[in-house]
Chain A
Amino acid sequence: MDDGRAFARRLLPWMVPALILASWEYTARTGMLSTCVLPEPWAVVKAAWHLTQTGELWSNLGVSAGRAFAGLVVGGGLGLALGLFTGLSRRAEIALDTTVQMLRNIPPLALIPLVILWFGIDEGAKLFLVALGVFFPVYLNTFHGIRSVDRGLIEMARSYGLTRWGLYREVILPGAMPSILVGLRYAMGLMWVLLIVAETVSASSGIGYMTMNAREFLQTDVVLVGVLTYALLGKLADVAARKLERLCLRWHPSYQ
């Protein structure tokens, strides 16, 4: 009887999605829901199958993922470097932080007209948008992480003879790591949002292109495949970030 109850509890969270899916399928089949608005779930599955069979989904997925991670590496790397710089040096903070804080408040998407003028509709435009978007969360969390390292630990390490480089490597950087990883995780979420917008504005490949192209031909099933792919990619990025946290913060009480 206990087994049955446990099984019911496991099943409960999936009740609402299953109900929604069932009523969606039903309304689509009976014609209450036009396929121009929303295709039936089964059609979406078939479209996804078809796209994987032709290889279209994989090639577009590869292009999108490549863009996203290139942007993350460029923007995140710069954010990390600048955050370390301003976090470790008061002078650098005074010189640069005000500027960064001002720029931070500009939504990256507001720059789309400029970006198109600068880079055209090339790869550069997408890379720039993603890199710009992920730069700020990584920068802010790196800076904040370094500044919030326990002063007592730094004092202790100094009195135990750790010099500049040793102090950074053994105390300041590991101390800032939880905050840096929060920034990275946030940046990974933002990375997809920006990429979607960039690919939707203009592209000749990628998931965004695939969905926009499908819209032209009223292929709502393909559009939905694209949307669901984004959801899946976002989830994958989040899982990867979590794995990284678990790896880097093994010492943290919340991971033991």
Chain B
Amino acid sequence: MASVISVSWPAPRGVGGAAVSLRKLEKRFAGRKVLRALSLEVARGLFVCIVGRSGCGKTTLLRIVAGLESLDDGEISVSSASGSSAGACDVRLMFQDARLLPWKSVADNVRLGMSKAALPAAIAALQAVGLEDRAADWPAALSGGQRQRVALARALVHRPQLLLLDEPLGALDALTRIEMHALLERLWLESGFTTLLVTHDVQEAVALADRIIVIDEGTIVFDEAVNLRRPRIRASREFAAVEQSVLREVLRTRAPL
């Protein structure tokens, strides 16, 4: 069977993305090792999906890159497009739940932490996710998918060079999820930021990723480029072949006790 997975990485598209370099990351929670000497280099503008069973350490990895967890050992460097080390503003994390402030309007949620002058930028970001007409609504009036789109707008309004996505579509229904994939892909192609998406949905990873990484017990056990043309057609034979090979890898990993 001809493998559609090649060993060479596809050429990075964007120049606005940050490069990520992780060296020998170690993390323990209450004596249990969550990350074991994990090293990873991500080129600028790449869309990388990190796949694994729940409890494999993939979310911890993302939270460490976002600066929400401390590191026991190892080194992280995120270098921005201009070559300098990226400030916190260049990295944005989208959570599994939207985490919108219920007491702020949609537009005010998007411009969180920014001045009033940022309102046009917030509206523009809402426009990018197709929710500009809901700008004045309360988050409680939105559906789950709409809330995640607002959260995405909130992350994008800062023009991040590295976007971290922690299973942001996990709680959405299948149809909404497919729409969100297309939206994410479009915004990523337009803006050229580097993306790390953590997911346990192999199909999602194959639909979006330039490169898929499988993590098991805190280390990388699989790391391959995906050379499928975009937009990817889920029904195609190539898509199914990639999905099958990644799924096999994930299923080989042991389920945590």
Contacts and interface: CB of A to CB of B under 8 A. Distances in A.
A170 B104 contact: yes
A156 B99 contact: yes
B113 A162 contact: yes
B101 A170 contact: yes
Contacts of B154: 160
Interface stretch (B49-57, B87-95, B198-206, B238-246): B87-95
Contacts of A177: 103
A159 B154 CA distance: 12
Main secondary structure of the interface of B (DSSP, over half): loop
Interface in A148-196: 150, 152-153, 155-157, 159-162, 166, 170-171, 174-175, 177
Instruction: Report the contact-size class of chain A (Cβ under 8 Å from the partner).
Output: 20 to 34
A251 B140 contact: yes
B88 A153 contact: no
Contacts, number: 52
A159 B66 contact: yes
B141 A252 contact: no
B249 interface: no
A99 interface: no
Identify whether the interface residues of A are mostly helix, strand, loop, or mixed: helix
Contacts of A53: none
Interface string B55-79: 0000000000011100000000000
A17 interface: no
A159 B68 contact: yes
A54 interface: no
Interface of B: 66-68, 88-89, 92-93, 95, 97, 99, 101-104, 112-113, 138-141, 154, 158
Interface of A: 150, 152-153, 155-157, 159-162, 166, 170-171, 174-175, 177, 249-253, 256
27 contacts: A150-B99, A152-B99, A153-B99, A155-B68, A157-B113, A159-B66, A159-B67, A159-B88, A159-B92, A159-B93, A160-B113, A160-B154, A162-B112, A170-B101, A170-B112, A174-B101, A174-B103, A175-B103, A177-B103, A251-B103, A251-B104, A251-B138, A251-B139, A252-B102, A253-B102, A256-B138, A256-B141
